């Protein structure tokens, strides 16, 4: 059971939240220069890390704000909660992007 520290509302139970998967994906562009391979990778390929992973979360049944979480997918420990606008800090990366 996750207790997630929403930056606006504070600690709330996981069933108020929705996880939207891997954070920091960058949409390739401009559109007419994007290869099928790059587009497919952007849409479908995921690092799917076992270990520390950066994720986007939404406080769906709360303030409805988006934010990022650095979370260990094996232990479920949440290491860091940070704004979506913030780049991932290199010292806290646990694996490939």
Q: Which residues of the shown chain bind other proteins in the complex (CB under 8 A)? A: 1-2, 13-15, 18-19, 21, 36-37, 40-41, 43-50, 53, 55, 73-76
Which of 61, 86 has the CB closer to other proteins? 61
Strand (E) positions, the chain?
Answer: 3-6, 10-13, 18-22, 52-58, 66-72, 78-82
Instruction: Please answer whether residues 70 and 82 qualify as being in contact, where contact means their C-beta atoms are separated by less than 8 angstroms.
Output: yes
Which of other proteins, Zn ion, none is residue 59 near (CB under 5 to 8 Å by kind)? Zn ion
Which of other proteins, Zn ion, none is residue 68 near (CB under 5 to 8 Å by kind)? none
Strand partners, 3: 13
């Amino acid at each position: 059971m996750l207790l997630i520290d929403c930056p606006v509302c504070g600690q709330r139970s996981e069933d108020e939240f929705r996880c939207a998967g891997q954070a920091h994906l960058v949409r390739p562009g401009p559109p007419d220069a994007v290869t099928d391979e790059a587009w497919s990778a952007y849409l479908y390929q995921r690092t799917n890390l076992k270990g520390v992973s950066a994720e986007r979360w939404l406080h769906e049944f709360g303030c409805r704000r988006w934010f990022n979480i650095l979370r260990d997918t094996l232990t479920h420990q949440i290491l860091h909660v940070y704004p979506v606008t913030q780049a991932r800090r290199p010292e806290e990366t646990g694996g490939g992007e």
